[in-house]
Structures are given as C-alpha cells and as structure tokens.
Amino acid sequence: TVKYGNSQIAVFNFASRGEWYACQQMCPHKKAMVLSRGIIGDSAGIPKVACPLHKKSFSLENGSCLSGESEYEVKVFKVKLDAQENVYLELPDSSVLDELINHTECAGAH
C-alpha cells in the first residue's frame, strides 16, 4: 500500500502474469481500506482483486465491478517499471486524487 496525500493506493504484483496493477485501497462497498489484502486472480482472463470482506471483485484493468453490481467501481492507475525494475505509479496531483477517491460518494454506499 502506498500513501499519497490523504489517499491510499493498493499495488499488486500479479507474478503469474508478469504484470503490476494499482487501484484505490478503499473498497467502495463499505468504504473499508482493505483491497491490498484482497485476493488477486482472473475472471475470464481479466485480472481482478476480490475484497477480503465481502468478496466483491474489481477489474484491475478498468476498475469495474465484476460481481454484477455496476454501481461499484474502483479507480485504477497505470504502473510502470524502469530498467532496474523500480515500480512507478502514474497518479494525478494528490489533491485531485484525494477528491476522486476519498470525497466522492459511490452510488452504492449511501
């Protein structure tokens, strides 16, 4: 987990695919900071993370909910590795990120 501004970003090394992914740490279902402890896998070839609390699954490619509940989604971020395999995240300014993640009500969280 990476803290940036007031936001937390979950970072995943999907070793079997040789790829890295990043998304918001907060599950939009119950607003819990738990996605970094979720289970990663794939759903029909789509890399996903499943929330450890209620097992809602989110695409690590576009953030959509793969559990059939379209009102939930997570923000995802591009991950890059340099020649030395240092991991870098492409993130907006911290104030913009904080607004996107922490202060926007999700439709299903009312």
* 25-66 pLDDT, tens digit each: 999 988 999 999 999 999 999 999 999 999 999 999 999 999
107 confidence band (pLDDT: 50, 70, 90)? very low
Distances (CA, A) of 61 to 12, 22, 34: 12, 9, 18
Which amino acid appears at position 98 of this protein? Answer: D
The model carries a pTM of: 0.87
Q: Are 21 and 38 a contacting pair, CB within 8 Å?
A: no
What percent of the residues of the chain are helix, what percent strand, and what percent coil, each to the nearest 5?
Answer: 15, 40, 45
Which residues share a beta bridge with 64? 73
Domains of the chain: 2-109 (2.102.10.10)
Chain segment 61-95, per-residue pLDDT in tens:
999 999 888 889 999 999 999 999 999 999 999 99
